[in-house]
Amino acid sequence: MEHPENNDKYKGLTVNAGIEQPSSVNPYFKRKVRKPQLSVQDFVDGIVKGDVTILSQAVTLVESVKAEHQAIAQEVIEKCLPYSGNSIRIGISGVPGAGKSTSIDVFGLHVLERSAGKLAVLAIDPSSERSKGSILGDKTRMEQLSVHPDSFIRPSPSAGSLGGVARKTRETIILCEAAGFNKIFVETVGVGQSETAVHSMVDFFLLIQLAGTGDELQGIKRGIMEMADGIVINKADGNNIDKAKLAAAQFRNALHLFPAPDSGWSPRVLTYSGFYNQGVTEIWDMIYEYIDFVKANGYFNHRRNEQSKYWMYETINEQLRDSFYQNPLIESMLSNQEQQVLHGELTSFVAAKHLLDTYFMELKK
Ligand code: GDP
């Protein structure tokens, strides 16, 4: 019987031979070639040559939380260490609105004009972890420096604890110095602990203050004032000059009450206007005088050695802490022990001992 499918009019059901396909749909499309990962030696060579792109990439590795990035970063840092150290490191602190970015912009231009070399501006911003983005060290805040060919501005690393953030900034200092940056500014907000961190990595700690309405010293922690090698009262301009001078006098009086610092240097108080660029030269005269003074009496090296020691112990403490708190068994026990302490069923010490004993037993396994 004749079947309809065999009829010629159903020819459409047979498979046609295809047409030839072009070798590429878009012959102009270029496949993205993955950049080959630089070796440790490539990083070191690039940094020592002063290649800022490679320096930035290395800093990104320093800031990374990935173990494989950290491994490369640590090797690079170690190899850069012999090229580092040849700089002046200045810590700059002040509450938000004190005029840090305005000041750093003019300070930066001043030091670059004053002597040969390059300037790196780094930051430690303990709040950046929460806000997931650092304001300090933001290039847009330093209009002139950000376009200066001899400056390198890097915002605060944002991952981890204050100690972790600070350690990364310290490691970045080493890389910057190896890349020929001989002036380093480390900026921080005046909120307390971050000053201690900055103080532990700089040669001179500059505290920017404002003249307020009443007692200038209120609200400034004694510890922060004690760390300062110089206090500068900003915005001494227009009708604020007298107030700024009065504030300076109050700070001077207060500083007299503190014991003399180990450096043998008596911290000074100056007034200036970052915005109008007045009194800036005097501030840097003071800082350079300090550097000469402590280099002559040996304190400069002593302070750097103490800082190296401090960072060794800080790193040990940080890693021990991480190892303890990230231990799965400890993690699973922690909230229960805490509850027992809160309900008065265990004393703090017994709970702590129990957790630590468990941790040490875990290590032995
Ligand atoms: P930061 O938050 O400490 O970085 O402070 P900024 O540099 O952003 O300055 C805060 C505000 O103070 C800005 O509006 C600046 O224009 C102003 N300011 C900074 N320096 C001076 C100064 O020397 N004199 C006056 N009158 N205002 C200033």
pLDDT for 151-174, tens place per residue?
Answer: 999 988 875 677 788 889 999 999
Co-location of 61 and 164 in the same domain: no
Co-location of 275 and 355 in the same domain: no
Q: Ligand 1 centroid vs 183 CA: distance in angstroms?
A: 23
Domain extent at residue 43: 37-83
Co-location of 103 and 61 in the same domain: no
Measured torsion, CA atoms of residues 168, 170, 172, 177, in degrees rounded to the nearest 10: -170
Look at residue 129 in the predicted model and tell me its pLDDT: 52
Structural domains counted in the chain: 3
Look at residue 45 in the predicted model and tell me its pLDDT: 97
Look at residue 96 in the predicted model and tell me its pLDDT: 83
Co-location of 259 and 346 in the same domain: no
Q: Is residue 4 part of a domain?
A: no
Look at residue 81 in the predicted model and tell me its pLDDT: 95
Q: Ligand 1 centroid vs 92 CA: distance in angstroms?
A: 14
Which residue's alpha carbon is nearest to atom 25 within ligand 1? 235
Q: What pTM did the predictor assign?
A: 0.83
Co-location of 191 and 116 in the same domain: yes
Look at residue 26 in the predicted model and tell me its pLDDT: 74
Among the atoms of ligand 1, which is closest to the Cα of residue 273? 23
Q: Ligand 1 centroid vs 282 CA: distance in angstroms?
A: 19
Residues with CB under 6 A from ligand 1: 94, 96-102, 234-235, 237, 273-275
Co-location of 289 and 169 in the same domain: yes
Q: Is residue 172 part of a domain?
A: yes
Q: Ligand 1 centroid vs 235 CA: distance in angstroms?
A: 7
CATH number at residue 49: 1.20.5.170
Q: Is residue 269 part of a domain?
A: yes
The residue with tokens 């040559």 is 49
Co-location of 194 and 147 in the same domain: yes
Q: Is residue 17 part of a domain?
A: no
State the number of CA atoms in the 13 A half-sphere of 91 facing the CB: 29
Co-location of 68 and 116 in the same domain: no
Co-location of 252 and 346 in the same domain: no
**Among 68, 83, 98, where does a domain finish?**
83
Q: Ligand 1 centroid vs 114 CA: distance in angstroms?
A: 23
Backbone angles phi and psi of 302, in degrees to 5: -60, -45
Q: Is residue 243 part of a domain?
A: yes
**Among 83, 112, 146, where does a domain finish?**
83
User: Cα separation of 29 and 235, whole Å?
Assistant: 57
> Which of 83, 303, 107, 305 has the alpha carbon at shortest distance from 182?
83
Which residue's alpha carbon is nearest to atom 15 within ligand 1? 99
* Terminal Cα-to-Cα distance of the chain (whole angstroms): 84
Tokens of 349: 């010490």
Co-location of 79 and 92 in the same domain: no
Q: Is residue 318 part of a domain?
A: no
**What's the maximum distance between 2 C-alpha atoms anywhere in the chain?**
120
Look at residue 5 in the predicted model and tell me its pLDDT: 60
CATH number at residue 242: 3.40.50.300
Co-location of 351 and 331 in the same domain: yes
Look at residue 115 in the predicted model and tell me its pLDDT: 92
**Among 14, 48, 83, where does a domain finish?**
83
Q: Ligand 1 centroid vs 97 CA: distance in angstroms?
A: 6
Q: Is residue 196 part of a domain?
A: yes
* Mutational pocket test of ligand 1: of 102, 103, 207, 273, the residue with most ligand atoms within 8 Å of the beta carbon: 102
Q: Ligand 1 centroid vs 30 CA: distance in angstroms?
A: 48
Q: How would you class 176 by CB atoms within 10 Å of its CB: exposed for 0-12, middle for 13-18, buried for 19 or more? A: buried
Among the atoms of ligand 1, which is closest to the Cα of residue 240? 26
Look at residue 156 in the predicted model and tell me its pLDDT: 82
Q: Ligand 1 centroid vs 100 CA: distance in angstroms?
A: 7
Which residues of the chain are under the pLDDT cut of 50? none
Q: Is residue 316 part of a domain?
A: no
Co-location of 136 and 244 in the same domain: yes
* Mutational pocket test of ligand 1: of 275, 277, 278, 280, the residue with most ligand atoms within 8 Å of the beta carbon: 275
